Amino acid sequence: MTQPMSPSAQQETQGVRTLADLLFPVTEADFMRDYDGRQPLHVPAGDHPHKAGILTWQAFNSLLQQTHVWTAETLRLMLDGQAVRPEQYCKPIATPSGPILRPSPTMVDVFLSGGASLVANDVLHAHPPLTHVGQILGRTFAATVGANVYCSFQGIRAFGSHYDNHDVFVVQTEGEKVWTLYENRADNPVDLLPGSDDTQRFFERSRGAVMSQVRLRRGDVLYLPRGWYHDALATDGASLHVTYSVTPITGKAVLDVLHGLASRQSDYRAYLAPADREGGAVLRRQLDDLAGLLQDIIQAPEFLEEVAAAQRRVQPPSADFTLPNRKPATLFRVTGRAFPATTRALRQLYDWAIDERQFALEDMTATFDGLAPEHIRAAIDAADQAGAVVRV
């Protein structure tokens, strides 16, 4: 589905290399200090609308014309605040994996002519400029990143007031849209609420008074922290914008890492005593011992490494194919000599290499995507110097 980046798109997006470029003239330091997770931020494009180049009307139409990739889940229609039922704009199509509902371009056009809004979901890797900005956000916030595109028309509101379970960066790429921000904010929400009339009434009751209205023009950027109530309306002609969802890991991921490390300890795997034994004293001692064990794990240097690895794993992957030119692989062979001492996190590289016997460094880097590539390279260099591996 991904299209090559055209020269014009490259020119439009080449100035966006960092978060600071995306938010110019707001610096990254100012954003992190004053806005990140705290309050909304509107960044007018001013004389620098180049950020709008991440998705022009022409590029969006080209994506839509790749009809074989769209499904009822990835291409949605909204009318009068309600989702159009898939069977109203899709046709059943037989595929090798079974039947699916595929949007019909003609049916979609009919709904658009009647004022429906079009939502293209999960398009982060569908268009190189979209991917480029998403990877910047993923690296900056150590986060999972998604991208959806919203096409709407004058006076039509696709979605009612709501909040999102992730931080939001909106880039207005064509037309204009007015965003209404409300004074209330949900407290670090993680669960999706069901789409129903009751849910919408809950949003409208809990959103609070209007805090501000922001008109996004071509090239403008809007940041909304997780949980901030908002809605949006195209007020003049057609509007096209990209919404990036940015979701760093939470304490749940920390518990997952902690469980993995603690599971190696016998005391963690031991049965717990019944709560009524000796008036609960036995269980209390076990819980105190477990608390000490878990605290020791958390405070160990390798725990920070494991959490950092979990952060790297969720970031958007990069793809840089150069066909017809093929990239050479950096091949190594295990010699049978001892590998050097290293951290537990890097030791898994050596164990994997021993199992493989012969391997490509690039394959190892892709397999252990939670580890920094430079750390993997350094570990293999150390193994090479120790004679544990040799270049093939």
Tokens for 205, please give them: 């009751």
For residues 254, 260, 261, 267, the Cα torsion angle rounded to the nearest 10 degrees is 120
Over residues 287-340, the pLDDT tens digits come to: 999 999 999 999 998 899 999 999 999 999 888 888 999 999 999 999 999 999
Over residues 173-195, the pLDDT tens digits come to: 999 999 999 999 999 999 877 77
Query: Looking at residue 5, what is its pLDDT?
Result: 45
Tokens for 54, please give them: 């991440």
Confidence of residue 13 (pLDDT cuts 50, 70, 90): low
Tokens for 137, please give them: 């956000």
Percent of residues, the chain, with pLDDT higher than 70: 95
CA distance 289 to 23: 48
- Kindly tell me if the per-residue pLDDT of 30 is higher than 60: yes
Mean pLDDT of 60-87: 94
- Kindly tell me if the per-residue pLDDT of 6 is higher than 80: no
Mean pLDDT of 236-245: 94
Confidence of residue 155 (pLDDT cuts 50, 70, 90): confident
Confidence of residue 8 (pLDDT cuts 50, 70, 90): very low
Higher-confidence residue: 97 or 388? 388
- Kindly tell me if the per-residue pLDDT of 366 is higher than 60: yes
Pairing of strands 239-248, 143-152: antiparallel
Over residues 163-176, the pLDDT tens digits come to: 999 999 999 999 99
Task: Please name the amino acid found at residue 208.
Answer: G
Strand partners, 206: none
Mean pLDDT of 81-91: 93
Task: Please name the amino acid found at residue 30.
Answer: D
Task: Please name the amino acid found at residue 294.
Answer: L
Query: Looking at residue 321, what is its pLDDT?
Result: 86
Over residues 248-294, the pLDDT tens digits come to: 999 999 999 999 999 999 999 999 999 999 999 999 999 999 999 99
Strand partners, 103: 90
Mean pLDDT of 34-41: 98
Query: Looking at residue 14, what is its pLDDT?
Result: 52
Rounded to two decimals, the pTM is 0.89
